[in-house]
Every structure is written in structure tokens, then in C-alpha cells.
Structure 1
Amino acid sequence: MEFLNSIIQGDCRQVLQTFPSLSVDLVVTDPPYLVNYRDRSGRTVKNDGGETGILSAFSDMYRVLKPNSICVSFYGWNRADEFFKAWREAGFRPVAHIVWKKDYTSKAAFVQYRHEQAYVLAKGNPQLPAKPIEDVQPWAYSGNRAHPTEKAVSILQPIIRSFSRPGAIVLDPFSGSGSTAVAAALCGRSYVGVELEADYCAHARTRLAGAAKYAVRKPT
């Protein structure tokens, strides 16, 4: 793939259309939750205003995935119906659900918010992992220093190891600060990231330059 091991700036709905079909082994992504998110310092997330149009990117994610492959997508629980509609229209079917349990409360309303979640979505009939991970995983707080919804690399590595083989190509169309790409590199996989905002692209590239010094190049 032309863009292998790079972070591409642009709207993934356009960028993914330039990717060849059946070229990616695994998608791991954290799209906007469609909830108008704003953190305590006032930072927001692009395309998080509630419009579902950004979810049309899942159709091209399905197209670029190789047959019998996996997409792991975080999602907003209170917009789950829109996410499911987009996933199913793209062609994906849910095969598992993962919850990360936090040891702190990120928000309190009717309940204390103490988890994050993602669906494991199948294209075709992927082979079962040799050692399936547990569907309740420990959470690690990234500090959200570079991005308001930054995921820690350590929570993404078990997913990548479980659902791909060394040397595989891992795609994140909502790359943010590059955590998925860094996790892929450290797991001995190739990566492609797409990110709309230039500052996050630059930060991700800096992180990846550092990660390359420690990237695992043997089977993991």
C-alpha cells in the first residue's frame, strides 16, 4: 500500500476512497461519539456534533478490509442505534463486545460513568484467535495530554495481538494522536492512520518516530 506506515491528514471519508480494496488486515478505531464532547479545558472533537454522516466511513473500512477480517470500533453508548445502523449497512456483523473498567468516575449523572466500550465487528468469517482476550479489560488512563479522548497504547495492544498476526496492516481512520498506530508498531505490525486535524497528525508522527526505536520486529 502506498501509504503504509504513515499518518495521512484529511477527512477519512475521502481518504479511504483512495485505498485499494482488500488491502488491510485489521481496523481498530475510535470515531467521534456524536455527543458534542467537550473536556474540562474546553477541547472538542471534530465531527462530534451529533451528525451521523461521519459514520459513512465504515462502508469504506469494510471495503478495504481483507475477507474474513475484524474491525474493532469504540462507540458512544447513547448513540448505539446510529452506530449499529452504520455498521450493518456497511456489511459488518457484531461478534463480540469489550468493556474496559475504569478505577475512577469520568462523569456522574444517573450513574457513575466508569467504563469504555467497543464492538468487535466481523467481515465474513474470521478465524478465531488462538488465545481470545477477556471481554472485560483493565483500563489505563492516558492523561488525555495530546488529545481530549486519547486512548492509552497499552489497552490497544492486546486487541492488535489477538486479531492480527505479526506483519499485518492495521488501519485507524480516526487516528487522533496516533495511539493505534503506535500500538501496532510496538506489536510488530504495519499501520496506516488518517486524521483530520494537522496538529494531531504532527503529534502522531512524532510519537511514531520515537516508537520506531522500540518497535517489536519479532512475532508477539
Structure 2
Amino acid sequence: VDSSAGEDYCRICFDAEADKIYLVSAPEVDYIDARSVVKIREYDRKTLAAKDYTVPNNTGVDLQSFISENRGTPLNGTVYGGSLYMVQDQAEQIYRFPLADPTDVQAVTMHGDDMAYLSDAHDGRLYCYYRTRAVVLNTGKNELFSCEAAGYDNTTSGFSTTAPVLGEPLTPLRRYYGDSRIRTERVLRANYLATINDLPKSVEKTADKTMKVIYTLRRGG
């Protein structure tokens, strides 16, 4: 439904790894309260079989009702890995509803970060790329981790590279004024040892393997 206020209440999602298409429909209301439900129709692209799900809001809070592919790709109303992801209304808390049992709602551990938009989804992880930083939602751990982003940005351009932080809380942003506007910068911590791609556990050197570490030393300024 495309209302007169310009908000949308349905969307189509495609989980490429599961090869399934989802039509997600939310009630045309300002927010989804405890009396409301989200309806989902699942299409298996290989077998053409369809299956319907009804997801009640049993989180104890109001959820955002706006779901659409418009204005980027909001996370709210996304179906991936057999779960629906919804965001709390007027807040940043994410909730996960497994379609196998929609009543088994799970709050994502946020670590003080947020994930308003969805940029990529693969290998059990949802990614959101901001201008100078990024976050990754590990669906296996049901946790949101910050990513380190090298460089800064005060325009619409993006960052260079990111490396998800394994089990670490959000790294603070450094804000400073310049060119009559606020710039936001995120830098690698001096004592930071990254694990790439949000590995399930840190790589440990044992007697059965060797490890080569290359350091680049620069004079601080």
C-alpha cells in the first residue's frame, strides 16, 4: 500500500542463498503495536511452492510500520535466513522473528550501535555501509558488530575498506569541525588486531602451525 503520506507498507525480498522470494505486508498504521501482525508470503523459486506466515508483535514494544525498498534499502521488514527483521518504533533496537516459530522473537544485541539500512547480505551476515563506517549483524550470534573504516568523509562519497571487529563494542567516532560543517572520522585503534569477516573465533597460533606477521611502523604526528 502506498499511502497519501508517501509511506509504504509492503515490500519484496529475495534471499539469493535460499532461492526464495518473500512478499512482506505490514498494517497501514503509524506503528505496529501488540495487536498487529506482519504477514509474509514465501515463494520457493525452484518448486514454485508458496507458504504463508503470520508474525505477531510480541516484543512488548511498538515496531516501525514503514517497510519498503525506497530511500535506499531499510532493514525494517527484511527477510533473510528464514527470519524477519523488524526495528522498534522511535528507537534503534532490532528484533528477529524466526519464521519457523514467529513467537520466538529475539532481540539483537546492539552494542550501542544501529543499523537503519541494509547494504548487503551473505553468509549469515547482514551488512550496512555508512559514509565512514559500517556495521555487520551476525545472524548466528544475533549480535551487531561495528566495522572499522579507514579514512573520513564530509561529502556523499564512501570509505575505503572495513574490517569487522570480533566481539568488540562500538569504536567511538571522532567528530571535529572543518569547512563550516561537522566531519566524522573513525580510525583504527593503535593496539587493534583485526579478524577479517567476523570470524567465529580469533585465530590462535599453536604448535601445529606457523604465523607470519608483518608490521608497518610510522612515526606519530
TM-score by length of 1: 0.28
| Higher RCO (CA 8 Å, separation ≥ 6 residues) | 1
Higher helix share: 1
Larger radius of gyration: 2
